[in-house]
Amino acid sequence: MVSELNKNKKPILLQPKNMELDEVVVSSKKIKIKSKTIGRTSKGLGLMHSNFYSYYEKDVDDRLSKEAGMKFKMRRNCHINDLNFNITSNDFKSLKFRVNFYKIQDGIPTDLIVQENIIFEIKNNFLGWFTVDLKPYKIYLNEEIEDVAVTIQWLESVKANEKSKYFSISTASSPTHTAYFRDKAMDSWNKGGQNLSFYLNAMCE
């Protein structure tokens, strides 16, 4: 009893006792990381183009913030390395775009997944495959995000001449793929059965 111990003025000495425990084995499941390409890597025959500005639009200056991109199926844990797209026409000395990653709900892009401003510039009427390095942004999409919309949004431009208007990406008709378009940041989305030459490189589990 504690009361009895209080009466005892002598020091109490404790003796160590060795006890042998059962063996414990700690193991880990090795996770395989693989390089994965998500989207269309072909530019096709160059017969179809998705243009940001149409023939009927008089000027680009009052219509900035146009946006276009693709729906991608993820369903794996992925670190995104870069975004690539094939430019087929470009009337501009300089173009600045923002890369946007959106959640998809009921088939339409909704909330931004990545909050950082991912801004890049295309210079000197560049044509062909263009790569946007995304590694510095450490974008990680987990397997709970089954589908994602990735777009580029027009921010600024410097024309090559007064009539400069056209900037396009190669595309193909596709009933199994979905491209997204809108004219302004707060406008409703339009979608169509197109497959832009637009893809991600990623490292996925």
What Å distances lie between residue 151 and 7, 13, 24, 76, 139, CA to CA?
80, 73, 50, 20, 15
Phi and psi torsions of 120, nearest 5° = -135, 160
**Could you list the pLDDT tens digit for every one of the 205 residues in the chain?**
556 656 666 666 667 777 776 666 665 566 689 999 999 999 988 789 999 999 888 888 777 899 999 999 998 899 999 999 999 999 999 999 999 999 999 999 999 999 999 999 999 999 999 999 999 999 999 988 999 999 999 999 999 999 999 999 999 999 999 999 999 888 999 999 999 999 999 999 9
135 phi, psi to nearest 5 deg: -60, -40
Looking at residue 202, its pLDDT comes to 97
**pLDDT score of 185:** 83
**Structure tokens belonging to residue 110:** 């909704």
Q: Please give the pLDDT value at position 21.
A: 67
Which pLDDT does position 5 carry in this prediction? 59
Q: Structure tokens of 160? A: 């090559």
- Give the three-class secondary structure for 184: coil
Length, in residues, of the chain: 205
This prediction's pTM: 0.83
CA atoms lying within 13 Å on the CB side of residue 198 = 24
Tell which residue, 167, 169, 190, 170, has the closest CA to residue 178: 190
Q: Which domains does the chain have, with CATH numbers?
A: 31-204 (2.60.120)
